[in-house]
Each structure stands twice: as C-alpha cells, then as structure tokens.
Amino acid sequence: MTVTTAAAPVIASFEGNMEIKRIVEAILFAAKQPMTCKQIQQVFPELEQPELQEVQQAVAAITEDYQSRPIELKQVASGYRFQVRSELSRWVSRLFEEKPPKYSRALLETLAIIAYRQPVTRGDIEDIRGVGVSSSIIQTLQEREWIRVIGHKEVPGRPALLGTTKQFLDYFNITTLNELPTLQRLDLSLDGKPLSAGKE
Amino acid sequence: MTVTTAAAPVIASFEGNMEIKRIVEAILFAAKQPMTCKQIQQVFPELEQPELQEVQQAVAAITEDYQSRPIELKQVASGYRFQVRSELSRWVSRLFEEKPPKYSRALLETLAIIAYRQPVTRGDIEDIRGVGVSSSIIQTLQEREWIRVIGHKEVPGRPALLGTTKQFLDYFNITTLNELPTLQRLDLSLDGKPLSAGKE
Amino acid sequence: MENALEQAPAFAIVNGAPFNQLPEDLYIPPDALEVFLELFEGPLDLLLYLIKRQNLDIVNIPVAEITQQYIDYIQFMGLLNIELAAEYLVMAALLAEIKSRMLLPRRPDAEEEEDDPRATLIRRLQEYECIRNAADELDQLPRLEREVFVTEVDSSALAIEQHFPDLELKELLLAFQDVLKRVDQLSHHQITKEALSVRERMATILAKLEGENSLLFSQLFIRKEGRHGVVVSFLAILELSKERLIDIIQPEPFAQIRVSAASSAQVETETEHD
C-alpha cells in the first residue's frame, strides 16, 4: 500500500490565533451536544473571550483540517459536532450490540405530519391520519425532544399546537426543515380531472 | 500569529493498510468505552478481519497523527480512548461547570440548628423545625464537610449525633463556636452595625 | 408482508374498467387477514391500498366499487370477530353515504363538483398518501444511532472545579432566628455566650470520648482554662449525662471517677476523622 499524505490535515491557510483554535477544537470534542459558535465563545472566561468571528474562523479551519480524516466536523441544527463520516458507518455500527431503535409507522406518520404541517394540533393529526393519535406516541416524541408545544390554538379548549425542535433536526442529521425530503404526492383524480384544490 | 504546521498530523511513516487505519480511527472515536486492539479487531466482520498486528500498527499511527492536536489517543487500563489533553483542562472544564445554586431555606435552618444546638440528632432537628429533614440536606452538609457525626445517642436506633467541623469554622473565618454571632448581636446589626463575623 | 399482498394477482383492467367479479382477498386465510389488517394504519390506509391495487394506471376513482370492496372487508372482519377500530366503521358509513348520493341523478351543474363528496374524500386520501410517503422517507434518512455516530472523546480526567454556593454567617443566624421564631420559644430569644460554650464543650467531650474505653473525669478538664473553663466543662458533663450521652462511673467508693461514651462498647468509630 502506498503511503499517502491525504489523511494529514493541512492548515497552511489558517491565519487566526492558533491557541484559540486548539481550545475551540478541544471544546467541540468534549461537548456532549452540538455547539454554536456563540456557545463556544462563552465557554471562554469573560476576560479571555475571543471575538465571535475568531471562533467562526477556527471552526472553519478545523472543518478543513478534518477534511480527509474518518471523522468530520458537521453543522446540524443546534450547532457543530464531530461525527464519523457516513461512508464508515457500516463498520462503526457493528460496535453497538443493541439494535438502533425502530419506530412504528404510526409514530413516523405522526412525526411527519408535525414536521411538514407544523404547527398542528392533535386534532389535525387525527384528521390527516383518519385514526386517533395515541398519547404514548406524543409522549415518546416529546421525551425524545423531537416535538414541543409551540403555542395554543385560539379555539374552544385551546388545543396545543405542536412543532418540531432543533433536536429533531440534529437527530436526522440536518440543519433546517428545508432539508427534509420534499413531499411527493400521489395524484388521484376524479373523473379524469386532476384535483387542483388539493393543498400543497 | 505565525502559521505553523505543528498541528498537522504527519503520517509519513505509516506502512500499513490505509483503509484499516481509517476504520480503526472511526471505531475509536465512536466507542463509548476504551477499546483494546483485540476488541477493535472483532468489530470487523469475520471475513474482513485484519491481523491483530495491523490493528496495533494502525493504533500506533493514529496516536502519532494526533500528537500535536488538542486531543490524544491514550492507553488506559481497559484499552485506548481519545481524550482531551490535560493542558486544555482549564478551558474545557468550563463546559461542565454549573453555576452553584443557592442553598435552600431548609438547608440553612438545618445547619443553623446543628451549629447552635450541637450535638443534635436528626430527630432533634425535626422537632425544632417541625418538619422532616431530607437526607439530601444532611448529605450536602456532610459533603461540604461542614458537619459530621460526632457520636451516637444511646436510645433505640442509636441515632447519629451531629456537630460542626473545623472546616465549618474555617469557612466562616472563626476559631471557636463562641464566635458565632448571637441573636443579641444580630439585633445590634439590624440597627445599622454590620456583623463583623460575616465571611469575607 | 405488504409487498407480498400487493403482488397478489391483480384484477384485470379492461380499458380502465376494472374487472372485479372475484374479490380474491376473500381467499386469504383468516389468520393472514388478521395480520394483514394490522398492517394498516387506519381506514385511509386501507382505502389507499384498495385503490392502488385496483387502479394501476388510474385516471378515475370508482367510488362505488371501492366502497363495495371496503364494506366487504369490514363485513368479513366482522365475521372473523376481528375487533375493528371505530374509525373503520365511520369510514364505511361515509362511503355508504357517498355511494347513495352517487346513485341520485346528477345535475349538470358546475357548482355540483365542489360539493361532490368524493372530492373531499379524495383530497383526504391524497393528503394521507403524501404523509405516508413522507414518513417512509423520514425513516430512510440517515439518523443518529443508526447511520450517524458522534464522536466520544473522554474528558472525565479533566479536573473540574466544583463550585459551592457561598454562605454568610449572617444568613445562618437569620435562619436560626426564623427557626426560633417559629417554635415560639420566647425564652430563647437570646443565645448567651455561656450556653453556647457548654454546647460546644459537650461536642468536644463527646469527640474526646469516642474511640476511648473511658477517660478519667479529671482528664476532661483543662487546667489552663481556669475557673470559667472548669465550670463550662462541668456543666457540659452534667448536660451530657442528663441527655444520657455519657456514663459516669465510680467503680468503688473513693475510686477515681471515670467517664465513657454511653455503652461505649458499641460506639462505632467510623465517623471520627479530624
């Protein structure tokens, strides 16, 4: 096998403060949650805080450094986190004896409705699915911190309006709702005429 | 700041299989526990398992790669794991520091009773306060090393007798309990004269 | 499972007109049918299945036929004593209503179409289908614990400074004052220096006795403290005795008085580290 230098991070272009970059990298590795640049900045003691821009530069340089390594600094909804590159996940997944959780269709459909149609009430979800929504599904979604109550609808009973959280996006490895797959619809038609009144 | 290449892992000397090294690195990063070379080897599917020696070479090369980064691949008793370099501890530890909460009313009263009425049992404290004393309060005070068990009362159950410690006196910068303020002095201080015994 | 069922021999479709004399569904053994129903997430899901199966190249939704099939299913479930969610029956009623309205003569009114009950149903089916696909795609997305693995870098070895809340002596006194107020012990409105010395001496003596079999009475006094100190120690010993925390023993007349922690044989020494 030929020796290649591809895996060696090259940081020739980094003009920022080397020490700040080292600290930012250590913080990103040690954090148990994704971190925003603002949050990283605030880990520094008040009198030694770098400018936000310096943190951003450091993050960019670190991202660059790991370009050819088996892990990457990835931006998700609630900040940056180090994660194993997807092409290696098939190996890494063998590390864990426990099978990853499987989610039922009922849960996934409920989650999809909340994600694509938010804000929605429980009643809305039931209308779309045509069946009652079990409390345990809503509870599971809330415990996983994928959904939260984002307000109340001003109708009798003031039902809670549900929406998704940043943790939901983090879990699915994306930054914004826009990155969700686009909705594809089955075009049913009525007597040969497409139904144009359908909501989209 | 001068640009330095010190932080760029150099892997010129690695002669092993690059792909195996990448996988080993990914495994070490994803593992929640330290991993031995043997354990790493076994993460590979049976038919694709590298020789133990190859894994060892990879581990050595990875250790080398991270020589100048803020994290290191370190061998501990149960295997290898990535950890934050100790010289960055001062920065990273701030990630995990929490602002101390204020002591509760219940804790202050419990401590006051122990200080002014020692030796007292938990039952005594409950009698004086008229409510139960939670174990966590006693535990907090013991962890802070302000109180300790100084004996046992010879009644059924042999309850512990609690008293204050030398650390308690040190904290308040007094040498004996006699220097604890009395209620009379409190009355004085409420008339405008500050309590001299207060810590600072 | 679902796939297998979808691959079941399809109806013949002749010029878009479905050939549905033989509902082969009814040949599915009852056990399979039960499992089959469990695959459905509700009446909309079941309806979509029926529609998709029947209209491989749909241009038209034959409500009447779908209704018939749906009701066949429901009835068959009933025969098998499979408990159905109420929603399935509500849908059956809705379909029956639509079907009966379809039997009425149509007016060639433009307005009529908006009122077409089929349109509402079809829109709901569309919306549901759309969500069903979205749920499938969501399930396919790479996600944490399955395809995405975050790095675990140990930081437990780092020295993390523990911060304790600050406390001022004044707060302690105020807390004690509150306690006293609450118990309404007017006689305790002042803590005299003397009383406190006695309490402290009690603690000191107990600590001294701990781990010892017994001490000479005289060992509990410190000569250099003078008369005041002796009085305080003596009061402390009396108080401890009264509270039965110590035993005062004189083995024989005129022998030296010894003091021990109450039943010192059992006193645990685990607590003393100072």
pLDDT in tens, chain C (274 residues): 344 344 334 334 444 444 444 444 445 555 555 666 667 888 888 888 887 776 543 335 677 777 888 888 877 777 766 666 778 888 888 888 877 777 776 665 555 555 667 778 888 888 898 999 999 999 999 999 899 999 999 887 776 666 677 888 888 888 888 887 776 544 444 444 555 678 888 888 888 888 778 888 878 887 777 677 777 888 888 888 888 888 888 777 777 788 888 764 444 443 434 3
Residue A199 in any domain: the answer is no
> Residues A112, A76: one domain?
no
CA dihedral defined by A28, A32, A37, A43, rounded to 10 degrees? -90
What is the predicted pLDDT for the residue at B8?
44
> Residues A119, A181: one domain?
yes
Q: DSSP class of residue C226?
A: H
> Residues B91, B109: one domain?
no
Q: For B73-124, how does the pLDDT look when each residue is reduced to its tens digit (9 = 90+)? A: 999 888 999 999 988 988 888 888 776 678 888 899 999 999 999 899 999 9
Which positions in chain C touch A147 (Cβ < 8 Å)?
Answer: none
Closest CA to B171 of B119, B103, B121, B117: B103
- CA C125 to chain CA centroid, Å, is 35
The residue ranking higher by pLDDT, A79 or C71, is A79
| The two structure tokens encoding residue A119 | 């804000």
Distances (CA, A) of C166 to B99, B170, B180: 11, 13, 17
Domain with C256, as residue range(s), is 163-273
Closest CA to B31 of C4, C223, A84: A84
Q: Compute the distance between CA of residue B112 and CA of residue C173 in angstroms, rounded to an integer.
A: 7
Q: What is the CATH number of the domain that holds A69?
A: 1.10.10.10
Q: For A2-55, how does the pLDDT look when each residue is reduced to its tens digit (9 = 90+)? A: 444 444 444 445 667 889 999 999 999 999 999 999 999 999 998 889 999 999
Residue A100 in any domain: the answer is no
What is the predicted pLDDT for the residue at A109?
96
> Residues B112, B75: one domain?
no
> Residues A32, A66: one domain?
yes
> Residues B87, B146: one domain?
no
Over residues B154-173, mean pLDDT: 89
Q: What is the CATH number of the domain that holds C202?
A: 1.10.10.580
What is the predicted pLDDT for the residue at A55?
96
What is the predicted pLDDT for the residue at A101?
87
> Residues C100, C185: one domain?
no
Q: Compute the distance between CA of residue B115 and CA of residue B127 in angstroms, rounded to an integer.
A: 16
Report the percentage of chain A scoring pLDDT > 90. 72
> Residues A22, A87: one domain?
yes
Dihedral (CA of C6, C7, C12, C15) sign: positive
Dihedral (CA of A159, A161, A167, A172) sign: positive
Query: Where in chain B does DSSP place strands (E)?
Result: 71-76, 79-84, 147-152, 160-164
Closest CA to C46 of C30, C59, C33, C27: C33
pLDDT band for position A56 (50/70/90)?
Answer: very high
> Residues C173, C265: one domain?
yes
Q: Compute the distance between CA of residue A95 and CA of residue B35 in angstroms, rounded to an integer.
A: 10
What is the predicted pLDDT for the residue at C119?
77
Residue C4 in any domain: the answer is no
Q: Are B29 and A82 in contact (CB under 8 A)?
A: yes
> Residues A113, A164: one domain?
yes
Which of A93, A113, A172 faces C131 most closely, judged by CB atoms? A113
In the block, residue with structure tokens 């693995």: C149
Residue A52 in any domain: the answer is yes
SS3 call for C253: coil
Q: DSSP class of residue B182?
A: P
Residue A148 in any domain: the answer is yes
Q: For B26-79, how does the pLDDT look when each residue is reduced to its tens digit (9 = 90+)? A: 999 999 999 999 999 999 998 889 999 999 999 999 999 999 999 999 998 889
Chain A interface disruption, residue of C53, C127, C128, C139, most A CBs within 10 A = C127
State how many domains chain A has: 2
| The two structure tokens encoding residue B78 | 């149960």
> Residues B84, B24: one domain?
yes
Distance from CA of A107 to the nearest CA of C (A): 9
Q: Looking at this protein, which amino acid is placed at residue C126?
A: Q
Distance from CA of C185 to the nearest CA of B (A): 10
Residue A132 in any domain: the answer is yes
**Which run of H or of E encompasses C29?**
none
In the block, residue with structure tokens 């409510």: B131
Residue B175 in any domain: the answer is yes
> Residues A189, A148: one domain?
yes
Which positions in chain C touch A131 (Cβ < 8 Å)?
Answer: 41-43, 85, 87
Residue C133 in any domain: the answer is yes
> Residues C126, C214: one domain?
no
SS3 call for C126: helix
> Residues C232, C180: one domain?
yes
Q: Does B188 touch chain C (CB under 8 A)?
A: no
What is the predicted pLDDT for the residue at B199?
38
> Residues B90, B22: one domain?
yes
What is the predicted pLDDT for the residue at C195?
55
Residues 110-169 of B with CB under 8 A from C: 111-113, 115-119, 128-130, 144, 148-155, 158, 160-161, 163-166
Q: Compute the distance between CA of residue B163 and CA of residue B119 in angstroms, rounded to an integer.
A: 5
Q: Compute the distance between CA of residue C198 and CA of residue C152 in angstroms, rounded to an integer.
A: 57
Q: Does C210 touch chain B (CB under 8 A)?
A: yes
Q: Compute the distance between CA of residue A87 and CA of residue A79 in angstroms, rounded to an integer.
A: 22
Domain ends where: A74, A95, A116? A95
Distance from CA of B82 to the nearest CA of A (A): 9
Domain ends where: A43, A70, A95? A95
Q: Looking at this protein, which amino acid is placed at residue A187?
A: D
Q: What are phi and psi of B175, to 5 degrees?
A: -100, -30
> What is the chain A residue with the closest CA to C84?
A131
Residue B199 in any domain: the answer is no
DSSP letters spanning chain A: ----STTS---TT--S-HHHHHHHHHHHHH-SS-B-HHHHHHHS-GGGPPPHHHHHHHHHHHHHHTTTSSEEEEEETTEEEEEE-GGGHHHHGGG-SSPPPP--HHHHHHHHHHHHH-SB-HHHHHHHHSSPPPHHHHHHHHHTTSEEEEEE-SSTT-PEEEEE-HHHHHHTT-SSGGGSPPP-----EETTEE-TT---
> Residues A75, A39: one domain?
yes
Provide the terminal-to-terminal Cα distance of chain A, rounded to the nearest Å. 54
Domain with B147, as residue range(s), is 105-194
Q: Compute the distance between CA of residue C250 and CA of residue C247 in angstroms, rounded to an integer.
A: 10
Closest CA to C47 of C69, C31, C30: C69
Q: Does C200 touch chain B (CB under 8 A)?
A: yes
What is the predicted pLDDT for the residue at C186?
41
Q: Does A53 touch chain C (CB under 8 A)?
A: no
Domain ends where: B48, B75, B95? B95
Which of C59, C122, C148 faces A89 most closely, judged by CB atoms? C148
Q: Compute the distance between CA of residue C131 and CA of residue A109 in angstroms, rounded to an integer.
A: 6
Task: Enter the ipTM.
Answer: 0.68
Which of B8, B26, B44 faces A9 most closely, judged by CB atoms? B8
Name which of A73-77, B160-164, C210-214, C223-227 the model is least confident about.
C223-227
Over residues A68-89, mean pLDDT: 95
Residue B2 in any domain: the answer is no
